[in-house]
Each structure stands twice: as structure tokens, then as C-alpha cells.
Amino acid sequence: MKRVLLSIGILFFCGIGGCKNNEEPQAFMGMKPDEYFVCSYEGDEGADGEHESVTLIDNKGEEVETFLGAYIDKIITPEGFMLEEDNGIIPEGTILLLFYLIDDYTYEIRAYGVGENEWLAESGEIQNYGYSLDDADRVQYIEFKNQIYDRLFEKISDKEDIITYYGEECLYNKKDENGINTIVNRNGEALLTPEEFYSKNQSLIPAPQNEPGNIELYDMYDSNCWCVGYKVDEDFTNRYCLCRSDGTMIEIEGFDYMESDMDFYRCSSLYGVDNLLFGKYLLMTEQLRGKEYYIKIEGASAKLIDFPEAEDISYEGGDVFLLKNGNIYNIYDAEKEEITCTIDTKGISEQYVTLEVIGRDSYYVHYVEKTEDSEYIQYNFVFGGKEIILNNYKFKWTKNLKNGYVIISFEKDEKETSIIVNEKGEYEEKHKVVEWANRDYYLTREKDEVHLYNFDDELIMKVEKGQVTNLLDK
């Protein structure tokens, strides 16, 4: 499948947990009891070099831990996905991979478990480290110096012994002495055996006659929607199906995919989108003909997406896809099943134009604008139909957050300015360097402090060298 565009993509906005009842104090930033806020900042570099720091704050607005001299390299979600994020609300079970610089060439890595609030592993002084991801971009193992850890940060002596865990529940495949596989939970207790699988689906697929039936878990898109491989007599390799946690196959209305050899891929992995909806949208491909189908997962059911005609389809994150027909691009909302925005790039040289989607009706195009004397890059931002034009002398950067927001930084009136855009294309302009935002708050770095504001520009919290001042309490 050929990609024709670079894309930032926008992530579906997941609302923060609701407030507590009137008899209890409101949680800080509306966070749930099992949620934390992490923020990163830089201070003045001292003799010890501790000028970068990270602070973890609980849902009461109180400091849990400050990591002086550290910065976040990656975070690992409870489902095992590795993301790049410096600030934001994270759930219990998240793992922070923290880098401590020793000198220009040497650093130390430490892994910190959020919720347990304790160190899981430390590397000592090293110059490099490695990790391996599975086909769905989940962590399989991390290697610090000469020590290997699995996704659960258990020490492993040999990479051959590494177990691939699936989902937040950490399910995995366990073979017996005869090579027959059973899907088990984290404690090794059987959840689905081959006998159960073939018995429950005998009206859909025949059990193998020439050899023992076998199954294998390949992915979890939802706690009740798995990808399972199974054997049929005439095939040398596994066929794949969508399967509920009780072992029954998931059928797709109007499409008998079980008659063909199908592969399933997460759209988020194929298009490089760090997405809160990691398993909601899948690409299903026929192995022999290469024909492609897009599927939306809805709990324990699956639905074929009927796109309008398009030469090329790319996934942009959340519920948004981009459909291309020549110079015409349509942004398509797969949840509402409608085209939300049409973009005509006619007149702009195809060699230079790049279109990047921000949301269901928001995007920007940048291209080389030539004059007789010079050339420069022009940026045309469109938010819900309103256009903002910047050239490369004014434009600084864009940051795509994991919660559905995009930050655009540019220079205005000789001041660095930020535009905060949500998934609806609504935006606000702030004369500050904004690092993070959600529907209620935005975070800035100001000198050697982190400041958290509400959208009335009232200061809610500030952090300096681990000292948290929660102004909501005053």
C-alpha cells in the first residue's frame, strides 16, 4: 500500500474522568483516583548538571516524586505500547523510562512504575540501550547494558525465553509438551483451548482431520476482541479470525472473510500514529489477491467501513481517514460515516506540497512558494474553515498530543505564540510557549518553571525543581 502523504494525524479526544460527588473535594484537574499528571521542565544548569527534571503529581495535586536531572525518553502504557510524551495525564500501570545524563556520551536509564511508585530497573552508566516491539508495536523486551527485561520488567536470561504479552490483561500463548497451544492469563490459567475453539465454531470452520487442531493468540484489539490464528487441513500456515474472549468467532455482516486467507493489521501501526484508539480500526488484507478492507471494531463486533470511492486511503488517527482522488483530498469521519472536509490542491506543485491532517475539518498544507528573488515555505492552516497563513520565518513547530490536541508554535509581534487546537477544529491563541493542553487546562514552560493555567488564563499550579504549588487549594 503506497503512502502519498506525510501526516501528523489527530487522536480521538478522551475526556478526563468526572468530578467526585458534592460531599468530597474535587480531584485535581478532574483526574480519576488511578490517574497521575507528569510534567517535564528545564531549570538553570548547576554544577551538578541537574537542569532537566520530571515531576509526578497525584489526583490531589500533590507531588508524588520528582526526578531531578532526568528527562522522559519514552513511556510504556499499561497495554505495553511505547509512546513519546513529556507531559500529560497517565494511568496507573504506566512505566516511565527516564534518562539521566552522566556526560555528553554516557547516560543512565531507570524504569519507574507509576502506581506502585517504585523503581523497576536501573541500568548503570551505559552508552546505548535497545528494545524490541512486536508487530503491533507493543514492547517485547528492553535491554539495559547486559540485562534483558520483558514487558513486565522481569529479568530474562535468554531472549528465546521472552513471552509476548497481549493487552493490559497480559494474556499469552502457552505450549504443552506436544506443541499444543493454549491461550492463558498472566497467572498461566487457561482461557481458551483448541478443543473449545473448534467446538464453539464448528458451524463456521471444520476442525483439522489430519493433525491436532491448534490455535494462537496474535493480538488483542479490545478485551473482548482478539485476533486468533487457527489451522485447517489444506493450509500449511495459520488462518486468522476475529474472536471473542469466550472463543466464538466474530462474523462481519455482509462479508464472509473466513472463506479466504486474511491478515489483520492495526491502522495505528501501519500509519505510524500514536493513538489512544490503538485497536479500533484495522486493515484486513487478502493474502492471495492483496485486496484491502478497512474494519471498525465495536466491542465484540466488527463492521466493514464503506468508504466513498478513492484512489488512496490513509489513516490519520482517531476516527479520521484521508481519501485521495487526484488533487482532491477528503477528510472522512469513520465514526459519523461522512466526509467532513474537502481540500483541492490544484495549482500547487505536487512536487512540493505536503498535506497534514489535524482533525475532522482541520489541516494544514505547506509548500515552496517561489518569487523572482527567493523562495520560502508557506504554511496554510485551516481550522473549521478559518484560514491562517504563516511563512517559514514565522512558523516554529507543531506538536501532536496523544489526547486529541495539537499545539502550533509561531512568532507573532516578535513574541513566541501558540495556537491550541482541539479535534473539533476549535482553537485558542496564547502568547506563551504551550507544551501541553486538554479541554480545561494548558501547560507552559516559563524560565525554569512549569505553569498550569485554565482557559481563563488563571494560574492553577506551578512547579519549580520539584516544588509543587497547587493554587486551587488557596
Span 42-74, pLDDT tens digits: 754 543 445 688 999 999 999 999 998 899 999
pLDDT higher than threshold 80 for residue 294: yes
- Could you give the CA distance from residue 366 to residue 218 in angstroms, rounded to a whole number? 39
Residues of the chain above pLDDT 70, percent:
87
Higher pLDDT: 178 or 307? It is: 307
pLDDT tens-digit readout, 306-318: 999 999 999 988 8
Contact between residue 166 and residue 172 where contact means Cβ atoms under 8 Å apart: yes
Higher pLDDT: 7 or 230? It is: 230
Cell readout for 266 is 492495526
Local structure of residue 50 (DSSP, 8 states): -
Cell readout for 362 is 482541520
- Could you give the CA distance from residue 255 to residue 303 in angstroms, rounded to a whole number? 9
pLDDT higher than threshold 80 for residue 122: yes
Predicted local confidence at residue 202, as pLDDT = 92
**137: nearest Cα among 85, 95, 71, 79:** 79
Sheet of 328-333: strands edge to edge? 312-317, 320-325, 328-333, 338-344
The model carries a pTM of 0.83
**227: nearest Cα among 213, 237, 211, 238:** 238
Contact between residue 52 and residue 69 where contact means Cβ atoms under 8 Å apart: yes
What is the enclosing helix (H) or strand (E) of 236? none
CA distances from 172 to 72, 78, 219, 241, 249 (A): 29, 15, 10, 17, 19
Higher pLDDT: 21 or 255? It is: 255
- Could you give the CA distance from residue 35 to residue 27 in angstroms, rounded to a whole number? 10
pLDDT higher than threshold 70 for residue 473: no
pLDDT higher than threshold 60 for residue 418: yes
Residue that the C-alpha cell 520488567 belongs to = 153
Cell readout for 381 is 492552516
**Beta-bridge partners for 201:** none
Sheet of 82-83: strands edge to edge? 82-83, 70-76, 95-101, 107-113, 118-126
Predicted local confidence at residue 9, as pLDDT = 33
Local structure of residue 81 (DSSP, 8 states): B
Domains in the chain: boundaries: 160-306
Contact between residue 38 and residue 96 where contact means Cβ atoms under 8 Å apart: yes
Local structure of residue 415 (DSSP, 8 states): E
Q: 199: helix, coil or strand?
A: helix
Q: Please state the rounded mean pLDDT for residues 108-119.
A: 94
pLDDT tens-digit readout, 144-158: 888 899 999 999 998
What is the enclosing helix (H) or strand (E) of 289? none
Cell readout for 244 is 471473542
Q: Most confidently modeled of 76-85, 270-279, 301-310, 411-420?
A: 301-310
